[in-house]
Structure 1
Amino acid sequence: MRVYRGRRGDRETDRAATAAMLAETGESGVPALRVWAPGRSLAFGRRDARADGYARATAAAREHGFPPVERSVGGRAVAYAASTLAFARAVPLADARTGLNDRYESAVGTLVAALRDAGADVERGEPPASYCPGDYSVRVAGGGKVAGIAQRVRGDSALVSGCVTVAERGPIRAVLRPVYDALAVPFDPDSVGSVARAGGPDDPAAVRDALEAGFVGDRDAEVRDVTDLSVDRDG
């Protein structure tokens, strides 16, 4: 498995690097993984961008110091603090029409196991009135959401991705309340959890190492820098 580390200089180029990783996996048949800190932002989904209150929601994000961005996969708005990690696992496909649920199940199981190995008391599940609700989420045992998973499929490969709230729960709660109010979507600030709140480390590097170990498993890891990927901003 190829493991890419680091972040490209700006958000669009960094996003293109993940797309390049996915394309590379489709062409080579070699799975790949990224775990990185994208930086502070508030990522809105397509449904958010069509909502009547979207302009108010993006204004609220800016006021709280979270630059708004739009993403092509996933559901509702997600806040990335400075310590929040993103992960993306690219897998080759023989048939793009099969395996969707299996990939989701594998990812959520791996994520729970990796965070437990790091010392966090987490479980699969979604607290009520959570941000970006979905069936494949991880939460503090009996508490707030720590991570969610999305998936993108192309003809020869699939990208299973998500984000993990390591710490900085307070700023995330503070920004998501007015954002979700503007979007007229139910949200409970207590639904926000973190790895640190679950008893795990508050150090993103330690959590990154745990996630890499979990997703690589017993495969040989070929570690590369993300700048090795040839990016196409239009691709």
Structure 2
Amino acid sequence: MSETGSLLMQQEWRVIDQSSVGPQFPALESFAMDDTLCASVGSGNSVAVARAWVHHRTVVMGIQDTKLPFLKKGLGHLEEHGFQAIVRNSGGLAVVLDEGVLNLSLIFPENEQKIEINRGYDAMWELVQLMFADFPVKMEAREIVGSYCPGSYDLSINGQKFAGISQRRIRNGVAVQIYLCVNGSGAERASLVKGF
């Protein structure tokens, strides 16, 4: 069994599906929930967690985005387009959440052995490959230069980014989060962020 495979092969999983309640709760609560679950899993009070969530018309900024010189003007731009903005505490730059973006969180305990950063990314990459095993295209995990919120674990098909992965670590818990562009236009989402 590969090291990555062992992360997905937990003895037990707690599955939380919040993919249909997006309009009922703010996106900031999803990040708070992952932090709470991370602490709970890390302390041994919960088994590993897989959580699905969707939010509507929200731009999730990274901490670096808050240091932009025209932040207030950028927030106004998003508001004019009917989007709210929040700041997440995991890595990366701004991403757009809407009804066409599925977010998944995998939350693992860091027991005696620390989980290397790449190993967390690899676990999510492996899950996505399993999810799309019947889809006859070649997916890659590599940085897509020029994409919004670029990272070394951008997931792409034919050079077109459709997903990005980030991580957050709290109290012996590791939350690996991915946004998957399931439908809609990635170019339109990128244009909104570029206008920001």
Q: Which TM-score bucket, shorter chain as reference?
A: 0.7 to 0.9
Secondary structure of 2:123's counterpart equals helix
2:181 counterpart residue number? 165
Are 1:10 and 2:44 an aligned pair?
no
Equivalent-residue separation in structure 2 for 1:131 and 1:95 (angstroms): 36
1:46 counterpart residue number? 63
Equivalent-residue separation in structure 1 for 2:151 and 2:46 (angstroms): 29
Alignment of 1:28-177 (within 5 A): 28=45, 30-95=47-112, 97-118=114-135, 121-140=138-157, 142-169=158-185, 171-177=188-194
Unaligned runs of 5+ in 1: 180-235
Residues 98 and 32 of structure 1, relative CA distance in 2, 3 Å threshold: closer
**Under a length normalisation based on structure 2, what TM-score does the superposition of the two structures give?**
0.80
Aligned length: 178
Kept in 1, the 8 Å contact 2:144–2:154? The answer is no
With a CA cutoff of 8 Å and minimum separation of 6, indicate the structure with the bigger relative contact order.
1
Structure 1 segments, 4+ long, off by >6 Å, are none
Per-residue CA deviations over 1:9-57 (Å, capped at 9, x if unaligned) read: 3224343322222222122351111012122211111111011122222
1:23 counterpart residue number? 39
Equivalent-residue separation in structure 1 for 2:71 and 2:102 (angstroms): 25
Q: CA deviation at 1:109?
A: 2.7
Residues 162 and 43 of structure 1, relative CA distance in 2, 3 Å threshold: same
Q: CA deviation at 1:92?
A: 0.7
Equivalent-residue separation in structure 2 for 1:2 and 1:117 (angstroms): 25
Structure with the higher fraction of residues in strand conformation: 2
Unaligned runs of 5+ in 2: 1-12
Root-mean-square deviation (CA, aligned residues, Å) is 2.2
Equivalent-residue separation in structure 1 for 2:182 and 2:94 (angstroms): 17
Over the matched positions of the two proteins, sequence identity in percent amounts to 24
